[in-house]
């Protein structure tokens, strides 16, 4: 595999793996909030944010290469990775709202 293809694959997998981890952490935050464990919920949201930053770094690498004229071949895997990260971002945002709602209900 050519070095350029390997770098593309690493960036794509960075989006998929970190997006999945972010979504999982956000889901764990909701489950913790359901039981009234708001310290864990907040920690899991922070963990989700960390994974999203890592995913963003992978995405930035891809965009930088594109801006430098290194056009990546758009494959189904590339599209899937972008979809994966966008869903993770949306889920993280919703999880934050749900944790806040559980906090209000607990008062």
Q: Which amino acids are annotated catalytic? A: 80
Structure tokens at 48: 């989700």
**Collapsing DSSP states into helix, strand and coil, what is residue 16?**
helix
| Residue 70 near residue 100, CB atoms below 8 Å | no
């Amino acid at each position: 595999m050519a070095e350029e293809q390997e770098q593309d694959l690493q960036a794509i997998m960075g989006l998929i793996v970190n997006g999945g981890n972010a979504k999982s952490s956000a889901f764990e935050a909701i489950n913790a909030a359901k039981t009234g464990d708001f310290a864990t919920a907040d920690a899991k949201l922070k963990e989700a944010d960390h994974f999203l930053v890592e995913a963003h770094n992978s995405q930035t690498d891809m965009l930088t290469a594109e801006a430098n004229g290194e056009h990546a071949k758009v494959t189904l895997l590339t599209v899937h990775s972008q979809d994966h990260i966008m869903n993770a971002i949306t889920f993280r945002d919703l999880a934050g709202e749900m944790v806040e709602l559980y906090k209000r209900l607990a008062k």
